[in-house]
């Protein structure tokens, strides 16, 4: 499949890996928007948050478990932001579900 995140999971495109298990892969975003900016992705190709359903919700729950684990390991002091962009209006640029884990600075609300 011609998906850059699937290629990262398969090692065909290099990445700066933070965490990996049988379901989830996490790596540093190439364009850091905060002192910590990590992408957490499922190994299964799910297009976006709009495609979460009964068949894959357990993977998504596990992704959040991994996010909390990474945040603890990186000592983000229980304060961080998790963002997912779904579809064109939200600015999704890679059609493989990913949660941005952002930390290490203050964030404004609402986002732009
Ligand atoms: P989004 O715009 O929400 O779909 O997020 C896609 C993210 O993937 C952006 O923040 C990009 O900087 C990031 N990205 C794209 N290609 C790579 C890559 N090869 N390695 C790491 N991050 C990437
Ligand atoms: Zn993919």
Nearest-atom number in ligand 1 for the CA of 27 is: 21
User: Would you tell me how many other CB atoms lie within 10 Å of the CB of residue 7?
Assistant: 15
Secondary structure of residue 9 in the 3-state scheme: helix
Q: Which tokens is 27 given?
A: 């790596």
Q: List pLDDT tens digits, range 81-107.
A: 999 999 999 999 999 999 999 999 999
pLDDT more than 70, % of the chain: 100
Residues with CB under 6 A from ligand 1: 4, 13, 15, 29-31, 39, 85, 91-94, 98
Helix residue ranges per DSSP H, 3-108:
4-9, 57-73
Q: Is 96 a catalytic residue?
A: no
**pLDDT digit string (tens) for 58-70?**
999 999 999 999 9
Collect all residues with Cβ–Cβ distance below 8 Å to 9 and sequence separation of at least 6. 25, 41, 43
Read off the pLDDT of residues 15-39 as tens digits, 9 standing for 90 and up. Answer: 999 999 999 999 999 999 999 999 9
Q: Rounded to an integer, what distance in angstroms lies between the CA atom of residue 47 and that of residue 85?
A: 11
């Amino acid at each position: 499949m011609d998906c850059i995140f699937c290629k990262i999971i398969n090692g065909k495109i290099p990445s700066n890996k933070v965490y990996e298990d049988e379901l989830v892969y996490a790596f540093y975003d190439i364009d850091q928007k905060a002192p910590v900016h990590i992408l957490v992705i499922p190994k299964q190709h799910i297009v976006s948050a709009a495609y979460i359903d009964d068949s894959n919700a357990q993977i998504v729950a596990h992704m959040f478990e991994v996010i909390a684990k990474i945040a603890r390991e990186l000592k983000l002091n229980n304060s961080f932001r998790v963002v997912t962009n779904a579809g064109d209006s939200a600015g999704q640029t890679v059609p493989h579900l990913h949660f941005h884990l952002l930390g290490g600075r203050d964030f404004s609300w609402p986002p732009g």
